[in-house]
Amino acid sequence: MRVHNSLSCLLLMLISWVGFAETITLKEFLDLAEENHPFFSKEALAAEIEEKQAESLLGAKDWQFSVSPYYSHLGEASAAEYSIQGLDSTGGEASLGGPIWATGGTLGFSFSSDYSIRDYYGTTDTSAFKQSIALSYTQPLLKNLGGKLDRLGYELSGYGINLAEVQALENQENFMLELSTRFLDWVHLSEMVEISEERLKLAEEQLAQVQKRYKANLVDRVDVLRGEDAVRGAEQGLLQFRAKWKARQAELAVLVQSGEIYEKSPDFELYALEDLPEMEESVSALKARSRLLGTFQILKSQLVHQRAGLLEQKRPELNLTLSGGLAGQDEEFVSSLEITKPDAAVSLEFKALLGNRGIKAKIEKIDLQVKQLQEERRDLEISLEASLRNLLIQIVEMEKILELNQAQINSAQEKTVEELKLYNQGRGQLTFVIQSRDNEQNAKLSYANNAALYHSLVLQYHALLDELFPSE
């Protein structure tokens, strides 16, 4: 009966192995997550939203077209001012104008058409058509020369886009770390299952031997009971690890939105060590590549650009306006279309704020913010370096612990061999054999636990150096 159970267990293990013959690596798993999980598309939209916000500021470049038809009537009281009894006017004006960002100036075109009837106290009525076209241009000579203020809002929005892109990358990096840690836990559970399966197999083999010896009256019934209890304990441990393994598998399948995970097992060298750079080399790489530290340069450039805009606002205004046009007027409409009579005007306008206390305070505020940014960057740099040194020291020490784990496993295996020899020779107890094999399993489980912790630290190291989700 016991032999039949052992064969059934081996058959189930074989079916399980065949069912999960296909494997998936950590990179393949993360690629699936990046392709299918909405988190990544959500984060990618953050920068696009900022880009659309920036594009909305381009509306300041748009030109405006307007049409204004009108009709007016001046009665006797109002028309008397013009020595006439009445005046009726009908016409309209169409205009097109807008800013020129390259120069800071404003350009305008207009066309007007007018028809008027004058009543000279009932004696005669005269009518006239008037057509005119006009062009005007205002050019700043001091403030906003070159369109600096016109472009300021749009140019500042570019820093917001850069910050959104960096933040999105950081969020995705952290999510990648979380996914990698869960995958590593799946790898860890796979190793636990394998160790438990091996322990169960040895316990069943030991029980079969004890049963033979019992039938030959070489051992007492108590050894059979001890062997059966060891098998039950091994089965219980195996079932617990398998349940956790399946639960983690189901969780990962949902996270990557792929049912393929149910048909695969993880492919990961749990006991392999990574050759990481030395401490100072890693610290230098951190300071050179850290996206978080790079954000401070973006923020500083943004403040410097704002300061330049405030200095531009502080300057006095000196605007030159040039305008000119052609007009035609006649009692006949066709004749009025001969637009040949020129008009022209030139003007200068000067404005200056006395004091500029508000702008001065804003400039001083930005100067303080720049100093604050420098201190914040230094603060973050120290924190990141401290975390990196902490991780590297733990990683190096874990490598030493893993070596001790290997030695502990070898020692436990040798002890099991010796205890088994003594028992087979009738000079030892089965209890010591079972205990020795349990110690061997515990040593292997401890080795697997420490190996998983080691790789968890390594993943944190790569994430800290922005290597899990590198910038394009």
> DSSP readout, 117-171?
EEEETTTEEEEEEEEEEEEEEEEESSTTTTSHHHHHHHHHHHHHHHHHHHHHHHH
Distance of alpha carbon 295 from alpha carbon 300, whole angstroms? 9
Inform me whether the pLDDT recorded for 250 exceeds 60.
yes
Q: What's the pLDDT score for residue 18?
A: 37
When pLDDT is cut at 50, 70 and 90, the band that residue 435 belongs to is confident
Q: Which CATH number fits domain 2-36+153-301+368-464: 1.20.1740.10, 3.90.1170.50, 1.20.1600.10, 3.40.50.300?
A: 1.20.1600.10
Query: pLDDT tens for residues 331-361?
Result: 777 666 677 788 889 999 999 888 778 899 9
Q: Mean pLDDT highest for which of 20-24, 29-33, 200-204, 420-424? A: 29-33
Distance of alpha carbon 110 from alpha carbon 96, whole angstroms? 6
Let me know if 444 is exposed, middle or buried by CB neighbors in 10 A (0-12, 13-18, 19+): buried
Provide Rg for the chain, Cα atoms.
43
CA–CA distance from 53 to each of 46, 297, 306, 423 (Å)?
11, 22, 18, 80
Q: Is the distance from CB of 392 to CB of 457 less than 8 angstroms?
A: no
Lowest mean pLDDT among 124-128, 179-183, 367-371: 124-128
What average pLDDT score do residues 321-325 get? 90
- Show me where the domains of the chain are located: 2-36+153-301+368-464, 64-100+105-143+318-351
Inform me whether the pLDDT recorded for 303 exceeds 80.
yes
Q: Which amino acid is at 175?
A: F
Inform me whether the pLDDT recorded for 127 exceeds 70.
no
What average pLDDT score do residues 367-371 get? 96
110: which strand partners?
Answer: 95, 134
Using CA atoms of 155, 159, 161, 167 in order, give the dihedral in degrees to the nearest 10: 180
Whole-number average pLDDT of the chain: 87
Of the chain, the percentage scoring pLDDT greater than 90 comes to: 59
Inform me whether the pLDDT recorded for 16 exceeds 60.
no
Q: What's the pLDDT score for residue 25?
A: 95
For residues 240 and 424, the model is more confident at 240
When pLDDT is cut at 50, 70 and 90, the band that residue 19 belongs to is very low
What average pLDDT score do residues 74-92 get? 69
Contacting residues for 357 by C-beta, under 8 A, at least 6 apart:
none
- SS3 readout for the chain: CHHHHHHHHHHHHHHHHHHCCEEEEHHHHHHHHHHHCHHHHHHHHHHHHHHHHHHHHHHHHCCEEEEEEEEEEECHHHHHHHCCCEEEEEEEEEEEEEEECCCCEEEEEEEEEEEEEEEECCCEEEEEEEEEEEEEEEEECCCCCCCHHHHHHHHHHHHHHHHHHHHHHHHHHHHHHHHHHHHHHHHHHHHHHHHHHHHHHHHHHHHHHHHHHHHCCCCCHHHHHHHHHHHHHHHHHHHHHHHHHHHHHHHHHHHCCCHHHHHEEEECCCCCCCCCCCHHHHHHHHHHHCHHHHHHHHHHHHHHHHHHHHHHHHCCEEEEEEEEEEEEEECCHHHHCCCCEEEEEEEEEEECCCCCHHHHHHHHHHHHHHHHHHHHHHHHHHHHHHHHHHHHHHHHHHHHHHHHHHHHHHHHHHHHHHHHHHHHCCCCCHHHHHHHHHHHHHHHHHHHHHHHHHHHHHHHHHHHCCCCCCCC
Q: What's the pLDDT score for residue 465?
A: 95
Q: Encoding tokens for residue 167?
A: 């933040």
Q: What's the pLDDT score for residue 4?
A: 41
Query: pLDDT tens for residues 382-423?
Result: 999 999 999 999 999 999 999 999 999 999 888 888 888 887
Diameter of the chain by CA atoms? 151
Q: Mean pLDDT highest for which of 20-24, 30-34, 117-121? A: 30-34
Distance of alpha carbon 412 from alpha carbon 444, whole angstroms? 9
Of the chain, the percentage scoring pLDDT greater than 70 comes to: 90
Residue whose token pair is 């203020």: 149
Distance of alpha carbon 298 from alpha carbon 123, whole angstroms? 78
Q: What's the pLDDT score for residue 255?
A: 93
Distance of alpha carbon 299 from alpha carbon 288, whole angstroms? 17
